[in-house]
Amino acid sequence: MKKYIGIALAIVVALFVMAMVISGSDGQDDMQYADVSEEVTEKSSFISSNDEQIVNLIEQNPIRFELPCNSNEVAEQVIGRRGYTLSYNPTTLVANWVAYELTADETDGPWTRRGLRFMPDPNCKSRQADNDDYRNSGYSRGHLAPAGDMKWDSVAMLESFYFTNCIPQDEALNNGRWNQLEMKARTWAKEYGSVYVVCGPVFYNSDTLCIGHHHVAVPDACFKALLIPKDNDFTSIAFIMRNGGEDRSLKECGCTVDELEALLGLDLFCNLPDDVEESIESKITWGDWGLR
């Protein structure tokens, strides 16, 4: 009799759990995210530490216009995610860059950041930041690939909350100009069908402020470069924003991709044909971006 009672209880519990998932209860988001977290290592299968591996990734999907090439030797582990690719620096403990394509269809979706907190990246092979590093530091956990661009997929949303995808960012910048630029990028994706994004930290010298027990490097500025397809061609723009006290307008923060490349030592949008790359990266066609 006890055996049959136990079986009956197990069936009841299983039916209750299934009902919770299907019913759209208040706990739906947390339950769904708990399920997909077990999939993360499978979905994030591409991990490398050299340019040859990046080339292999590009060959698997030839139109990866967002992926940059390093002009200089740099410490990195490249990690492919559902929604973005990043180059993680084991010395600074922040990404060298994060790159992704955002399509018009991906600018909205059912998945929200509700219930999610920053967490360790399970695929990171070296030290990484944690909550204690940021606590009382005066800096926000600033997304590079923003959660607002990952609403289209549950795994993409979850993976945007890895510490490898955030930097110590001035709170006013995080909630101000940087957030404004993120929203503009979604507007451009809707207008043009897609936008290719590369973003990350800027360090002007080796005398870098660090926070926390892991000594996470604080960027002097943040950059974002964007490429959009337009009339069978492309147009590009870049932005550099001071990590603290940034009161300039979006247009005043703008620069050419060539200028940003000279500062970073990166070859951005390197998978474009050379003649196209040279043409569009040397200028800004302000009318394409609607900035005044």
| Cβ neighbour number for residue 222 with a 10 Å cutoff | 26
How many Cα atoms occupy the beta-carbon half-sphere of 47 within 13 Å?
14
Say whether 143 is catalytic: yes
Q: What is the Cα–Cα distance from 140 to 148, expressed in whole angstroms?
A: 16
Q: Which helix (H) or strand (E) holds 188?
A: helix 177-192
Catalytic residue among 143, 213, 214, 215: 143
Nearest Cα to Cα of residue 108 among 189, 35, 177: 189
Single-letter code of the amino acid located at 158? L
For residue 260, give the 3-state DSSP assignment: helix
SS3 285: coil
How big is the CA angle at 284 (ends 142 and 172), to the nearest 5 degrees?
25
Q: Which helix (H) or strand (E) holds 251?
A: helix 250-253
Distance between CA atoms of 174 and 181, rounded to whole angstroms?
10
Asked if residue 258 lies in contact with residue 280, where contact means CB atoms within 8 angstroms, the answer is no
Tell me how far apart the 2 most distant CA atoms of the chain are, in Å. Answer: 80
Residues noted as catalytic: 143
